[in-house]
Amino acid sequence: MVIVFETKPAILACAAVAGPLEKRSVFKSYFDNILEDERFQENTNEKGQMALIQEACQTLLKKADVKNLDIDYFLSGDLVNQMTPTNFAARELAVSFIGLFSACATSISSVIIAGLLTELGASNFAIAGASSHHNATERQFRYPIEYGAQKPATAQWTVTAAGFALVGKYHKGMPYMAAATVGKVVDYGQDDPFHMGGAMAPAAYSTITTHLKKRNQKIRDYDVIFTGDLGKIGMKLLKAMFAEDGIKNDELNILRDAGEEYFGEDVRFQAGASGAGCSASVFFSYVDLQLRTGRYKKVLLVATGALLSPLSYQQGETIPCTAHAVEIIV
């Protein structure tokens, strides 16, 4: 499903806040704040993530010079059971809240819905984005950090970060949403939770090719097509899929991935970064700045998500995945 936004909802401002380990990220200089404590001086990981979300949202409001009471909707989600960090952060924001779960694709699904609410005339200002917390997510989907479980080379590192965009009515000179593609659920039979990039790459390919076909566009029509957290392995697979379609290297270089690049070539992070906060913190800091400074004129942001749960994995299910895309122009 491809949506064309007639009223051109604008990305009025963006903010990204990251955890202490994320100071090793190649994108660190673009983050608005890097916390010194993983738990943000709270006594649990989940409360720390709640505080992380609040910090990012308050930073966004300050940058946009708007107040809580000006916000019509808060759209967000995370990777913890029932999205409790986001729910509790919404309690403090005290605005109309729509909780969303598209796993790591939530950073873009939230923006798409914010754009639709703006298009309908139901929203003047909406906060949209996502977050993740390394310790909370690892305990949720794999093992508690204290256990010290070893990971294979295909594994990715869940980042502690939150990124949000303020979506509003079209404003001349601001980046705006031209179109979006809501992805299908794609499952190629991958069942290894330590191989998320390989599982999500087909979903990214499906969404990107659908968007390009429906919009009658080519990869080269964009300054960059930025995927979420395929990581090093997933990105190789995605490029291989496009290469089979006859896409040449010069166009393949337009494809970039937040997870692949997040920690550069640091081998301690294995196949790269992941988590809902991975794409959110890169899209709503680095990419946003490139648009506002004129380096990019047209981008396609594609967030990917693995829709598994600990229970589905334990029951032997494969990993269904999705990807959502938004086309932004300035």
Q: Identify the pLDDT of residue 145.
A: 57
Mean pLDDT of the chain: 94
Q: What is the pLDDT of residues 64-99, one digit of tens each?
A: 999 999 999 999 999 999 999 999 999 999 999 999
pTM, entire model: 0.95
- The mean pLDDT of 162-184, rounded to a whole number, is 98
Q: Average pLDDT in the 288-307 region?
A: 98
**CA 71 vs CA 32, 58, 147, 325: distances in Å:** 21, 12, 42, 24
Residue 245: per-residue pLDDT: 96
Is pLDDT above 90 for 330? yes
In the structure, what pLDDT confidence band is assigned to residue 288 with cuts at 50, 70 and 90?
very high
DSSP characters over 89-156:
HHHHHTS-EEE--BTBTHHHHHHHHHHHHHHHTS-SEEEEEEEE-HHHHHHHHS--GGG-----TT--
Give the whole-angstrom CA distance, residue 170 versus residue 114. Answer: 13
- Confidence (pLDDT) at 156: 87
Question: Is the pLDDT score of 323 beyond 60?
Answer: yes
Tens-digit pLDDT profile for residues 236-262: 999 999 999 999 999 999 999 999 999
Range 180-187 average pLDDT: 97
pLDDT at 149: 64
Give the pLDDT of residue 214: 97
Reading the block at residue 142, the tokens are 């794999």
Q: Which of 129-133, 150-154, 182-186 has the lowest mean pLDDT?
A: 150-154
Q: For CA atoms 266, 267, 269, 274, give the dihedral sign.
A: positive
Quick one: pLDDT at residue 147? 54
DSSP class per residue in 167-226: EES--TTS-EEEEEEPPPPB--S---TT-HHHHHHHHHHHHHHHHHHHTT--GGGSSEEE
All residues at 6 or more sequence positions from 240 whose CB lies less than 8 Å from its CB, including other chains: none
139 pLDDT higher than 80: no
Q: How confident is the model at residue 309 (pLDDT cuts 50, 70, 90)?
A: confident
DSSP state at residue 159: P
d(CA 260, CA 247): 20
Q: Which domains does the chain have, with CATH numbers?
A: 7-168 (3.40.47.40), 176-329 (3.40.47.40)
User: If pLDDT is split at 50, 70 and 90, which confidence band does 164 have?
Assistant: very high
What pLDDT, on a 0 to 100 scale, did the predictor assign at position 313?
78
Looking at 6-20, 128-142, 172-186, 283-297, which range is the least confident one? 128-142
**Nearest alpha carbon to residue 201 among 251, 265, 271:** 271
